[in-house]
Amino acid sequence: MSSAAGDQPVKLTSDHLSVEIARLGAEMQSLKDAQGRDLLWDGDPAFWTGRAPLLFPIVGRLPGDQLVHEGVAYPMSQHGFARRRAFALREASASQARFSLRADGETRKQYPFDFTLTVTYTLIEATLTIEVQVANPGPVTLPASVGFHPAFRWPLPYGGTRADHRLVFEKAEVEPVHRPVGGLLSAASEPNPAVDTVIAPDDAMFERDALIFLHPRSHHVRFGVPGEPGLEIAYPGMEQLGLWSKPGAPFLCIEPWSGYASPEASSSEPGAAEFMDKPGLSLIPPGGSKSFAMAVRWLPDIGR
């Protein structure tokens, strides 16, 4: 990132956390506790350059990486374009920052719709809330998905190995999970790895890519070593959840989504299916808007 003032990250601070957010993608760049210990992945290219990208207007991939609207195909890469676009900074204080992205000639080459995307970060005490509002200023229905993709340190800086870490869900997760297949949603499912409310993540779990919960029962999950400080990731209103890492990588992505990749079966005719018919989309009427949110809360003890 250059030293130009316009390129400097926006910083939010409280007595418990500090956060830095870049204008590129309105992406969180760092999350630190009160002692300055890193909780967010640093984007080391040896493993993965992302940190906490925002996914819009799709989550996952489309067949043939094409969005088809009224019979016309538009190129659309995995997870959409918002993470690669510079957002305008609309407001900034010590506790809140608001960014926006509007449709322009470049976005319409991939996504032939008018939209305004507003991303608001709010830090109050030990909780960071991220809200994405999708507004439709256009004359036709706006089809869209939004996803959050934060990567947290694994292990967190509080003692304990990666093997000691647990994901503790609000409720027992029992429904089968899916995997990406070439970036598309697998037709097959597999047993949920949770034992009641707990998953013990390990490298083998991610050898076949992410775990996708299409209908999670929980609205939050806690991550860390039982008995030690950790994080609670809350996602009320988000309909899906992804878990992802690379075997051996020191991060774990906990990803609340509203939307998911096109089903695997639709790949037989790349680009043939109309985007408006894709499962998992939010359909926003002209003049309307919809908000999507997640929160990260620092906890002195994640419980057992």
Domain ranges (residues) in the chain: 5-299
- In the chain, the amino acid numbered 227 is G
Topology of the domain covering 5-299: Beta-galactosidase; Chain A, domain 5 (2.70.98)
Alpha carbon distance 291, 155 (integer Å): 32
Band of residue 3 on the pLDDT scale cut at 50, 70, 90: very low
93, pLDDT greater than 60: yes
The token duo for 172 is 């027992």
Give the confidence band of 269 by pLDDT, cuts at 50, 70, 90.
low
Res 201: pLDDT: 98
- Sign, CA dihedral 196-200-203-209, equals positive
In 3D space, the residue among 251, 168, 255, 248 whose CA is nearest the CA of residue 211 turns out to be 255
Residue 282 has pLDDT above 70, yes or no: yes
Which pLDDT band, with edges at 50, 70 and 90, does 251 fall under?
A: very high
**Smallest Cα–Cα separation from 202: which of 253, 165, 156?**
165
Split at pLDDT 50, 70, 90, the class of 266 is low
What band does 265 get if pLDDT is binned at 50, 70 and 90?
A: confident
